């Protein structure tokens, strides 16, 4: 495992992607930044993080033989690795908000952004970025954000937390490469935020609907049970869970 530590960078994902554009990095090349100046989340959202307080990390994972249509299993494996780590640190009321936010109760403590590396029309690997709120105490204008330290009152050693996450990433990627897809999917679905509970969702155009999360499809779409006993799948761009 090769770890690159930086003081400040625009985005750890961008750094690794630019590296991969020249030549593929070693498997499990890790980039850690004390400050990310232009961190990104899902759907182009910005990830704000106080300097030196949190983990802003990207990992390059090679995939020699992997079908692009199975790419959501990478997202599930990463979510499970971080969840397993935080559970070991006794963070309370953990769940995974589809597709891959990690929550404690209804507060977000970790976001994940996965970007695939394609060369000559072949899937070569993934840049796995995550921002974990560790020791930050204040989140101005972000009422749904929290940190490990806020939740437990403990100041954490970030290197220790990162070490455990990387160990669990290796565990789940070994499962992935052994094609234990059913095991990964069932573990992920069991941890879904608001699974089997009536919830409100919003379409892109602002229309709201009620539904119950039943799980996900093989491609990672959300399966909702709607009125009249209809099961329907939704992509990330189509619907948002309001909570």
Mean per-residue pLDDT, 158-169: 98
Phi and psi dihedrals of 52, rounded to 5?
80, -5
Q: Are residues 119 and 22 in the same domain?
A: yes
Distance CA 32, CA 34 (A): 7
- My answer on whether 159 and 221 are in the same domain is no
151 and 234 both lie in a single domain: no
Say yes or no: 101 and 150 in one domain: yes
Residues 61 and 171 placed together within one structural domain of the fold:
yes
What's the pLDDT tens digit per position in 114-148? Answer: 999 998 888 999 999 999 999 999 998 889 999 99
* Same-domain check for residues 202 and 183: no
Domain count, the chain: 2
pLDDT confidence of residue 195:
98
Task: Express each pLDDT in 220-239 by its tens digit.
Answer: 999 999 988 999 999 988 99
Same domain, 218 and 103: no
Identify the CATH number of the domain in which residue 209 sits.
Answer: 2.30.30.100
CATH of the domain at 40: 3.30.930.10
The residue range of the domain holding 204 is: 198-242
Q: Among the residues of 23-71, which ranges form H helices?
A: none
CA 139 to CA 144: how far, in whole Å? 9
Helix 72-88 with 181-190: angle, nearest 10 deg: 60
Q: Is the preceding peptide bond at 99 cis, omega within 30 degrees of 0?
A: yes
The predicted structure's pLDDT at residue 227: 86
Q: Say how far apart CA 202 and CA 54 lie, in whole Å.
A: 31
**Residue 195 class from Cβ within 10 Å (0-12 exposed, 13-18 middle, 19+ buried)?**
middle
Q: How confident is the model at residue 17 (pLDDT cuts 50, 70, 90)?
A: very high
Tokens found for residue 198:
């009536």
């Amino acid at each position: 495992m090769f770890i690159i530590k930086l003081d400040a960078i625009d985005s750890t994902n961008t750094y690794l992607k630019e590296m991969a554009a020249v030549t593929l990095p070693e498997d499990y090349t890790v980039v850690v930044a004390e400050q990310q100046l232009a961190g990104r989340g899902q759907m182009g959202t910005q990830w704000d993080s106080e300097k030196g307080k949190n983990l802003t990390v990207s990992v390059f994972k090679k995939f020699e033989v992997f079908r692009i249509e199975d790419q959501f299993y990478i997202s599930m494996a990463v979510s499970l690795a971080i969840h397993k780590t935080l559970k070991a640190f006794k963070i309370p009321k953990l769940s995974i908000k589809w597709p891959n936010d990690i929550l404690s109760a209804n507060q977000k403590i970790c976001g994940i952004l996965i970007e695939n590396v394609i060369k000559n029309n072949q899937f070569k690997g993934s840049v796995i970025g995550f921002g974990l709120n560790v020791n930050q105490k204040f989140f101005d204008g972000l009422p749904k954000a929290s940190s490990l330290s806020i939740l437990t009152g403990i100041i954490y050693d970030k290197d220790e937390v990162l070490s455990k996450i990387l160990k669990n990433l290796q565990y789940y990627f070994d499962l992935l490469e052994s094609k234990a897809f059913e095991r990964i999917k069932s573990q992920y679905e069991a941890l879904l935020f608001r699974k089997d509970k009536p919830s409100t969702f919003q379409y892109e155009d602002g229309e709201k609907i009620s539904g119950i999360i039943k799980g996900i499809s093989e491609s990672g779409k959300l399966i909702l049970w709607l009125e009249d006993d209809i099961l329907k799948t939704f992509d990330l761009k189509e619907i948002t869970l309001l909570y």
